[in-house]
Structure 1
Amino acid sequence: MFLSAIRSNPRGWMIVAVIFITVSFSFAARMSLPVLIPVWEKEFEWTRTFLTTGAALIMIVMGGVAPYAGHLLDKFGARYLVSGGTILSGCCVVFGAFMDSSSVLLSPVWVFIGIYCMLSAVGYGMVSLPVATATITREFVENRGLATSIGTSGVGGGQLLFIPLMAWAIEIAGWRSTLVLFGSLIVAMGILAFFLLPSERNSSTAKSDAGEGSKTFVAKFGILIRSPVFWLLGGAYFICGFTTAGIVKVHLIPYAASCGFTLTTGAAATGILAGFDMVGMVIAGYLTDRVHRPGLLGGVYFLRALTFIMLFFITDNYVLLFFFAILFGTLDFATVPPTAGLIASHLGVSTMGFNMGILFLGHSLGGALGAVAGGALFDMFQTYDWTWISGLALALVAAVLAWSVPEKREATPAGAEPAAA
């Protein structure tokens, strides 16, 4: 079945493969900061609040870029956007290796905030999940959820491979050499993506509403904010960002360190979590094509809330740390396929880049709030208990919002051949 689907739509599945790889590199680069937090706390005597503020800035800038990136994607296609964003973020990672306390130009605070966080976030926003999901969504009608989940599961693939490797390399060769090597690999992937991705935005799924993609930014935004579905999904996605990108993705490694685990152990748990991101995403993508999507989405948020209970009991228990990573990872990005599917069904595929970009902005703002709140609460109480309590409570709210979204299935456009069978 899968091989026949590839043969029937080789262009679509080639795009899925390229998106998987570029997203892998982009998200691994973005998630490199938690690995470096314990190292930079010691070397530069920075507080956790300061470092997690940097993580928050990444999410704010990335989220702010995402709607504009989606708008450009709707108009011009993926090639220049994805390759340019990948190259930019790779260069910023390399530049981060040259922080120098004795230099004004290379001042650690300036390089960390201005280059490693804010400028790199522009690149991350150009290769964000809205761009990835919209690029893939318009190439498929049938099996859209599966294709989207496979392509965007690169968010877990990159972290599974690179985060533990980065932690190991930092302990062996130092953080500067590690950043140079990793950033160079990202730049190389960006160059490769330029030659593999199509430059046009052409697809059979967009023909029925082709004029929508050329609407102005303001016109698209006006349509979006009048949709009740947007507010329900957007509210849930804001909380999604708070509970995942904010408090868990930023604070799990520092939390593990505060429990007495080594940097490598914390990074390994994060890598396992990311690996199960892929598993959960593919399962959710498969189910998105077959079950009631609001019910699926709400169920994911509800189960995510329950996983926060485990964090109160980890202390020095290796088994519980890795068990949490497996469960939370399975639920982490499982929200993406049903959310993208509901947006496509209710608001159309030709403006998917913009619509998902706005949702991603909310997700990023939630993540930024979670990152800063988690760091501030830790500095204040020297414990993460209140951080995990907030995650549990808000995830339950997200479940209620998701269950309130009406289901709506779209038909295959007249005259359009299924892109995958």
Structure 2
Amino acid sequence: MDNISINSLTEFNVAMSEMQRTVPVISSQQKFNAILVAALCVITAGSYVTLSGLLTSQLIEELGWSSLNTTFGITVNMILYGATAPFAIHLMEKYGIKKIVILSLVTLCAGALVCTINSKIIFNLAWGILVGLGCGALTMSFGALFARSWFEKTGLPTGILTASSVTGQFVLLPMWAKLANEFGWRAPLIGCIVLTPAYS
């Protein structure tokens, strides 16, 4: 009985040693680069979130649209913003964070580009579906998953990503408003597209 226990313990120690050798060690530089990229993603998504009101006012002023003309798109956007997160997290866990994040950023970029077309139907569909899905995939649920995947202690990275979300949603809004006033309603959309990181 003792020999069996000793053999089992030895096999367990060998298996654990092999696992430790196969698990890659993440350096501090890699963690810094990863959280920088994640913060840029959250800022990018956040820059779209509060843009609805600004776009609506600009479309009313420049094109003569009414608030009802954008209600459908904004409503769908808000619904998908809240509903997409759990499905996006599931896909990130299944296929990898990087692939789904890149897909989300590309979706945001495509949605903003399509929105620049002067069409009520196209604007509502693009803003509601494409931008809604892209923003919904990069909420703080993504931030929590990222922090848990890359860091043993998640407090600091979660705080950084929360601050990044606020930066994207509110700090950038005055800049988008200034661009809209000077260059028209398409300017903040183009600004968001430019903000989308090159790795998307």
Q: Normalized against structure 2, the TM-score is what?
A: 0.76
CA contact (8 A) 2:70 2:124 kept: no
Structure 2: gaps spanning 5 or more residues: 1-25
Corresponding residue of 1:11:
30
Query: After the TM superposition, which residues 45-124 of structure 1 pair with which residues of structure 2 at under 5 Å, given as runs?
Result: 45-47=65-67, 51-99=70-118, 107-108=119-120, 110-124=121-135
Return the match for 2:149 from 115, 138, 155.
138
Per-residue deviation at 1:18?
Answer: 0.9
CA shift for structure 1 position 161: 4.4
Deviations 1:154-198 (A, max 9, x none): 112223443111110111111124423432432xx1x42x5xxxx
State the structure with more CA Rg.
Answer: 2
The runs of 4+ residues in structure 1 deviating greater than 6 Å are: none
Aligned-residue CA RMSD in angstroms?
2.2
AA in 2 matched with 1:137: R
Aligned partners of 2:170, 2:57: CA distance in 1, in Å? 20
- Report deviation, 1:145: 1.4
CA distance, structure 2, for counterparts of residue 52 and residue 153 of structure 1: 29
What is aligned with 1:128?
Answer: 139
* TM-score, normalisation: structure 1: 0.38
1:167 and 2:167 are equivalent in the alignment = no
Aligned residues: 174
The answer (yes or no) to whether the contact 1:59–1:121 under 8 Å persists in 2 is: yes
Structure 1 residues without counterparts, runs of 5 or longer: 1-6, 100-106, 195-421
**Are the aligned partners of 1:57 and 1:117 in contact in 2 as well (CA < 8 Å)?**
yes
Higher relative contact order (CA 8 A, sep 6+): 2
Determine the structure 2 residue equivalent to 1:24. 43
Question: Cα–Cα, structure 1 residues 182 and 141, in superposed 2: closer, same or farther, change >3 Å?
Answer: closer
Q: Is this contact kept in 1: 2:109–2:193, CA < 8 A?
A: yes
Q: Is the 1:94–1:182 contact (alpha carbons within 8 Å) kept by the matching residues of 2? A: no
Checking the alignment, whether the CA contact within 8 Å between 1:133 and 1:152 is kept in structure 2 is: no
CA–CA distance in structure 1, aligned partners of residues 122 and 169 of structure 2:
24
Is the 2:59–2:185 Cα contact (8 Å) retained in structure 1? no
Given residue 151 of structure 2, which amino acid in structure 1 is its aligned partner?
F
Alpha-carbon offset, residue 8 of structure 1 = 6.0
Q: Distance in 2 between matches of 1:148 and 1:185?
A: 22
